[in-house]
Amino acid sequence: MAAHLVIVGGGPAGMMAGLLFARAGVPVTVLEKHGDFLRDFRGDTVHPSTLELFRELGLRDRLLERPHNKVSELAGRVAGRRMRIADFRRLPVESRFIALMPQWDFLDFVADEARHYSGFALRMNAEAIGLGYDGSGRVNAVLLAGGERVAAQYVIAADGRRSVLREAAALPLEDIGAPMDVFWFGLPKRETAENQSMGVFEAGRLFVQIDRGDYGQCAYVFAKGQADAVRARGLEAFRAEIGTLAPDMAEAARDLTNWDQVKLLSVALDRLTRWYRPGLLAIGDAAHAMSPVGGVGINLAIQDAVAAANLMAGAMAEGRDVDAIAPLVQRRRLLPTRIIQRMQKMAHDRIIGALLDPDARLTAPPWPVKLLDRFAVLRGIPARLVGLGFRREHIRSPDAGGRI
């Protein structure tokens, strides 16, 4: 008899795992603490690695029927000059672009596909607050706010970078550190034929605009712990700073009339040194919080879900014990996690941290950026790192049929 799997967290990792385990014939319940997926300023970059997974499932074309914008190149304004940085059209896959898709549309799509399997259930407004254990100390339940106990033969913790379950399970956490925090906000813009997502790198300042059609999702980056200092300078000064960094957004910045429109995201870079304990496995941000650098967090989390299903779903569907398999998931995913986090840490220390130094000087683009802009073939390198990552997963979990 197939084991009943409970997945905590209805984000990209949790929903993808739910779909794949249900597809393999495992009874699955996904618990999501919110009543819907409509939360502002969630990441919305669906990278080529993720698009290829949906292609392998035969779902990519249906996914791309949802609202999205295509980004084939990445560029930035560095020391006042527009520089081309990455070109996804050179990737050795069919999906040679990033799809900018509101995450609620992406999650709704995955949930709709998962509901085609009779063993799948999604419970909204189900906030996990702890774990239950059997007499041997093995996890056998999820405890919900309100007192309900949800029995489980196995639990996957996919409840994000502030995971309640990883703390409840006493999983050891290594804090790698990040030198920055981010203000996120939306500004209206005129829709253009080509996507105009852009990063601005100037001495002491860093600004990112993600083009979402009729508005820009904007990130104003500043040194960690300086949110109150930025606010203390006043909203007018903040709007003026936006206009200096992105002149085409100066008029739109007038729409910012109070600080409630500006959300603080505290950047974290950490990872568990052990992702599992009997009865439980952590994946995605619950196992490793990623920096926004490269926008890779969502796609790395989805890769974790695929690896977990590849290694565990068949055994779970047959009712076999999977506690011995969980370490293999960590072993499979730890190397790419370490590589990406090491690269993000280098970017933090050598680029972002240096730029945010009040005494920073940037009079010309660094020579590596000049080379990327000048030689098109070199722009395939960052495109591959960002778009496909390391140790890319493929769908190898079983398809038990039963689609309804």
Which CATH number goes with the domain that contains 357? 3.50.50.60
**Tokens coding 78:** 């560095």
Residue 344 lies in a domain: yes
Question: DSSP letter at 197?
Answer: -
211-260: pLDDT as tens digits: 777 888 888 988 888 899 999 999 999 999 999 888 888 899 999 999 99
Domain check: are 24 and 116 in the same one?
yes
Question: DSSP letter at 350?
Answer: I
Residue 399 lies in a domain: no
**Where in 101-243 does DSSP place strands (E)?**
120-123, 128-133, 139-144, 149-151, 154-157, 173-175, 180-188, 198-202, 205-211, 215-223
Give the total number of structural domains in the chain.
2
Higher pLDDT, 291 or 306: 306
Domain check: are 295 and 377 in the same one?
yes
Domain check: are 148 and 210 in the same one?
no
Determine the structural domain holding residue 211 and report its residue range. Answer: 180-223+225-266
Mean pLDDT across the chain: 90
Instruction: Decide if 51 contacts 95 (C-beta within 8 A).
Output: yes
Instruction: Give the pLDDT mean for 299-303.
Output: 94
Q: CA 239, CA 255: separation in Å to the nearest integer?
A: 9
* Confidence band of 2 (pLDDT split at 50, 70, 90): low
DSSP-assigned beta bridge partners for residue 41: none
Domain check: are 257 and 275 in the same one?
no
Domain check: are 261 and 272 in the same one?
no
pTM of this prediction exceeds 0.95:
no
Q: Is the pLDDT of residue 311 over 60?
A: yes
Residue 400 lies in a domain: no
Residue 395 lies in a domain: no
The confidence score (pLDDT) of residue 40 equals 56
- In the chain, what percentage of residues exceed pLDDT 70? 96
* Confidence band of 1 (pLDDT split at 50, 70, 90): low
Domain check: are 314 and 246 in the same one?
no
Domain check: are 150 and 188 in the same one?
no
Domain check: are 162 and 51 in the same one?
yes
Domain check: are 198 and 241 in the same one?
yes
345-362: pLDDT as tens digits: 888 777 777 777 666 677
Q: CA 365, CA 362: separation in Å to the nearest integer?
A: 7
